[in-house]
Structure 1
Amino acid sequence: MSNEHQIIEGDLFSDNRGTLSFVNAFSLQPIVRFYEIAHNDTTTIRAWQAHKKESKWFYCSRGAFRINLVKLDTFDNPSDDLEVFSFELNENKPQILYIPGGYANGFKAITDDAKLMVFSNFDLETSKQDDYRFETNKWINKW
């Protein structure tokens, strides 16, 4: 995978039987675990979490989420002036956001009852050893 974040595009197929949502370009080969996040409301913000080495892939299975990223210049005391990359993942436009190690991310639901699936290439214990946290408003004050 790349050392830069990227969107992996998917698509929808509909016929009289219903709708199929897919992201065929997404390989599950590096994945060792996944979990799903459901926010209680659209005001909850989860930010900022970073990993030096762990990669994550985000997929919105219901509703919509705003996901913000920053590529860190250092993990000890990152600059307050880093560029923020902002993405909206939406159940009606199948996409996966790939975030390699070296980034901090934060997100919030922008619709009620939204669900976000997160895939990881690290097991839980290894991930905990590669976990860095920063204040919610460190890089962006408007979500």
Structure 2
Amino acid sequence: MKFSSTPISGLVVIEPEVFHDERGWFMESFNLQRFRNGLQSLSVVPPDYFVQDNISSSKKGVLRGLHYQLKPFEQGKLVSVLQGAVYDVAVDLRTESSTYGEWFALELNDSNKKMLWIPGGFAHGFLALEDDTRVSYKVTHFYDKDSERSVLWSDKKLNIEWPEMSNYFLSEKDRAASVLDQLPE
């Protein structure tokens, strides 16, 4: 596995090694020892453990996010795409960070097989670029409804450069999300 830093501290792109032959391909999608060693090689503190695996399925144009949970239920997420493609976005919400309010995005898809490690303290969201896109994410804390929050995907202060679509499909909750300047402490 190849681990690469991003311009935002703690956020890491992971590229697994894929072995191809006449039968198809094989890859190790997760290995705890390699994951920990890879993050540590970039001076990123690895999580103690993952507690839950989630999978979502979305049609083209579905925009989910930007979601996060308040302390002490912050979720670190290891995000990958099983089928299809997404434009994946992480926003730094760590108030003590020099990159607070900055975002990073990349395409995750079933061809490039890249993954994104998003530590706690970030909001996360994605735009499905294909029909029947399936996203998998391992999380470090259980879902806690009372600590769930969202940042508005179209917040002008964030100015995220989402890919153009003829239509974005969002939940009512995501349409009503707070802008960065109005987030709870």
Residue number in structure 1 paired with 2:181: none
Please say if 1:16 is aligned against 2:22: yes
Letter in 1 for 2:77: K
- Give the 4+ runs in structure 1 shifted more than 6 A: none
Instruction: Label 1:92 to 1:142 Cα distance change in 2 as closer, same or farther (>3 A).
Output: closer
Gaps of 5+ in 2: 1-8, 37-46, 164-185
Letter in 2 for 1:142: W
Shift of 1:71: 0.5
For residues 47-58 of structure 1, the aligned pairs below 5 Å read 47-51=65-69, 52=71, 53-58=74-79
Higher helix share: 2
Equivalent of residue 43 in structure 1, options 57, 61, 68: 61
Letter in 1 for 2:66: W
Residue number in structure 2 paired with 1:66: 87
| SS of 1:26 mapped into structure 2 | helix
Shift of 1:111: 1.9
Instruction: Label 1:73 to 1:123 Cα distance change in 2 as closer, same or farther (>3 A).
Output: closer
Conserved in 2, the CA contact under 8 Å of 1:22 and 1:94?
no
Equivalent of residue 130 in structure 2, options 86, 91, 111: 111
CA distance in 1, matches of 2:107, 2:146: 29
Equivalent of residue 142 in structure 1, options 154, 162, 176: 162
For the aligned residue pairs, the C-alpha RMSD in angstroms reads 2.5
Equivalent of residue 109 in structure 2, options 79, 85, 90: 90
Shift of 1:131: 2.1
Q: 1 or 2 for the larger relative contact order (CA 8 Å, sep ≥6)?
A: 1
Shift of 1:31: 1.3
Gaps of 5+ in 1: 75-80
Instruction: Label 1:43 to 1:61 Cα distance change in 2 as closer, same or farther (>3 A).
Output: same
Shift of 1:29: 6.6
When normalised by structure 1's length, the TM-score is 0.79
Letter in 2 for 1:36: I
